[in-house]
Chains A and B, each alone.
Chain A
Amino acid sequence: MREELLSILEKNSRIDLKELAVLLGAEEIDVANEIKKLEEEGIICGYHTLINWDKTSIDKVSALIEVKVTPQRGQGFDKIAERIYNYPEVRAVYLISGGYDLLVTLEEKTLREIANFVSDKLSTLDSVLSTATHFVLKKYKDHGTVFDKKHEDEREIITP
């Protein structure tokens, strides 16, 4: 049940317990217990909403920053990653294989704020060797959902 439950919730975290139980062919109480367990185990980490900010009048600028760092003895990349993710403006931090070490995503109101974060906070950290900042121009798809695409049913109305 666990995998199917997670895949439903990942797409629709607002689904109510009764319906969830029907879809899974399980008892409500078992589903409720399983969700509780998943929360306690830190597998379910939150119930967020996917928003296409571009459609609002609110200005947001996102950036992806490639960061090269010096790993620290005994702690690898974890310590420096923590230094970075503790900034509330940082949305995500990934350890990456290949040409650089950490990928940091950032969301701010203005370009200037992102520039300030990079120059004042990120680059000045001791173990940061270099950064490369990429600004997001347009988001086509996020969390498996294509923005701005209406799905028309092109099938015939009745077929055998």
Chain B
Amino acid sequence: MTKPLSDAVQSLKPSGIRKFFDIVSEMKDAISLGVGEPDFDTPWHIRDEGIFALEKGKTFYTSNSGLKELREEICNYLKRKQNIKYDPQSEVIVTVGGSEAIDIGLRALINPGDEVIIPQPSYVSYEPCAILAGAKPVIINLKAENEFRLTAEELKNAITDKTKVLILPYPNNPTGAIMEQKDLEEIAKIIIEKDIYVMSDEIYAELTYKGEHVSIASLDGMKERTILINGFSKAYAMTGWRLGYACAPKEIIKQMTKIHQFAIMCAPTTSQYAAVEALKHGDEDIKMMRQAYNQRRRFLLNAFKEMNLECFEPYGAFYVFPCIKEFGMTSEEFATRFLEEEKVAAVPGNAFGDSGEGYLRISYAYSLDNLKIAMERLKRFVQNLRK
């Protein structure tokens, strides 16, 4: 074949994580701190419902927007936890993971040339999805001095006449940063004044260690301009089930449903039945897992303190984001040497955007025993570097 492939797709940079993955997979017996998914198994009662759905022969498509019962439970959950009221009939769509919701949400909003504001460091999909939707990504480089929160000032400076939507990725992967109510109120003023949409990716909402998570959609005047994205992967340790959802005004959901209908048809049926069980009876599981994550978070922060490694205290997700600038290496050099010399894999911060340069993402979706060994090795590694 001589005809060229899609320019837009070819122009996408491969994920920085992929590159590091190739190095790591060469290594036998390395300890990994590199995953973005829970170490817990999906709670048994949830798996059991999935099995039961299969046994009962529930193996057909569901409606495009997802099982009615699941959409109702999603609305109950958002009402119960965050006091936001959505209509299960018209304002919810069940997707294949939060990632599909990001993709179709952007595609439903964007006209060619529209600008999408993306604060970084953040999850690797936003920028490529925005580009594929025909938008121009506008990056905000978040700062460690603000604990990687988005400030009103930064947002104001990034907005132009062409700005269509702000992506709000909190609790944040990879920094672990959160946005508290007062932070959200500050930026909501500007969002309303400038009349832009918000895509709020709240996949880590349940993993917050300082008060309860607040959704920007719960603030006055925000629900009508927000696509709220959440899912089951992180809260219920259900990554492999591939199930997420988006809630938004019905005009937006209607357009998103069209794309979903033609590209996907519906989210996996087995997963949807399991998810109903998760929402109905999973609160205790979340509590147990959050408590374990929080203990590990404290353990890591204390370990950094003991080895004098600079790190702000993150209150969300399951990542810590220590600063490695003192060693005069790039994130990639640091991560590669750490891997080669101590056999521990952590992801270089720049994989999540240029402003992640000089940082390392360390995941604590690992047992304490594992983290203990890894921290001993990190301590030895930084001590040798400082010599």
Which chain A residues have a beta carbon within 8 Å of chain B's beta carbons? 4, 7-8, 19, 22-25, 153, 155-160
Residue of A nearest to B306 (CB): A22
A interface footprint on B9-41 (CB within 8 Å = 1, 0 otherwise): 000000101001100110000101011110100
Q: What residues of A have a CB within 8 angstroms of the CB of B302 in the complex?
A: 22
Using known A-B contacts A157-B35, A160-B36, determine if residue A25 contacts B298 with beta carbons closer than 8 Å.
Answer: yes
A22 touches B298 (CB 8 A): yes
Contact B39 A155 (CB under 8 A): yes
| A58 nearest CB across to chain B (Å) | 28
Write 9 A-B pairs (CB below 8 A) sorted by A numbering: A22-B299, A22-B302, A23-B295, A23-B368, A157-B25, A157-B32, A157-B34, A158-B24, A159-B37
**Residues in A neighbouring B124, C-beta threshold 8 A:** 160
Which residues of B (270-307) have their CB < 8 Å from a CB of A? 291, 294-295, 298-299, 302
Q: Chain A residues near B20: list those with CB within 8 A.
A: 158
A157 near B298 with CB under 8 A, answer no
What band does the interface of chain B fall in when counting residues whose beta carbon is under 8 Å from A?
A: 20 to 34
The residue from A4, A7, A22, A157 contacting B345, defined by CB atoms under 8 A apart = A157
Q: Are B36 and A157 in contact (CB under 8 A)?
A: no
Q: In this complex, what residue of A is CB-closest to B174? A: A160
Smallest distance from the beta carbon of B244 to chain A beta carbons, Å?
15
Chain B residues within 8 Å of A22, by CB: 298-299, 302
B30 adjacent to A157 (CB under 8 Å): yes
The reply to whether A159 and B17 form a contact with Cβ atoms under 8 Å apart is yes
Q: Is the CB of B299 within 8 A of A158?
A: no
Residues in chain A near residue B123, CB distance under 8 A: 160
Q: How far is the CB of A142 from chain B (nearest CB, A)?
A: 17
Q: Is B216 an interface residue (CB 8 A)?
A: no
Q: Which residue of B lies closest to A18 (CB)?
A: B302
**What B residues does A156 contact at CB under 8 A?**
21, 35
Q: Verify if B347 is at the interface (C-beta below 8 Å from A).
A: yes
The answer to whether A158 and B295 touch across the interface, beta carbons within 8 angstroms, is: no
| A160-B173 Cα distance, complex, nearest whole Å | 8
**Pairwise interchain contact B291-A4, C-beta atoms closer than 8 A:** yes
Question: In whole angstroms, how far apart are the Cα atoms of A153 and B302 in the complex?
Answer: 26
A7-B291, A22-B302, A24-B295 given as contacts; is B37 within 8 A of A158 (CB)?
A: no
Closest chain B residue, CB of each to CB of A8:
B295
Q: What residues on B are CB-neighbors of A4 within 8 Å? A: 291, 295
Contacts A22-B298, A155-B39 supplied; 6 other A-B pairs, CB < 8 Å = A23-B298, A24-B295, A24-B298, A157-B24, A158-B24, A159-B37
Per-residue CB proximity of B76-111 to A under 8 Å, as 1/0?
A: 000000000000000000000000000000000000
Q: In the complex, what distance in Å separates the CA atom of A7 from the CA atom of B32?
A: 27
Q: B298: which A residues are within 8 A, CB to CB? A: 22-25
Q: List chain A residues, Cβ under 8 A from B17.
A: 158-160
CA distance A24 to B291 in the complex (A): 10
Interface centre among B15, B35, B124, B294 (most CB of A within 10 A): B35
A155 touches B35 (CB 8 A): yes
Q: Which of B24, B32, B125, B299 has a CB less than 8 Å from the CB of A23?
A: B299
Q: Which residue of the partner chain B has the closest CB to A153?
A: B39
Q: Which residue of A lies closest to B15 (CB)?
A: A160
Whether B299 lies near A159 (C-beta < 8 A) is no
Contact B21 A158 (CB under 8 A): yes
Closest CB-CB distance, B4 to chain A, in whole Å? 28
A25 to B345 alpha-carbon distance, docked (Å): 27
The CB with the most chain B CB atoms within 10 A, among A8, A156, A159, is that of A159
Complex contact A155–B291 (CB within 8 A): no
- List of A residues within 8 angstroms of B36 by Cβ: 159-160
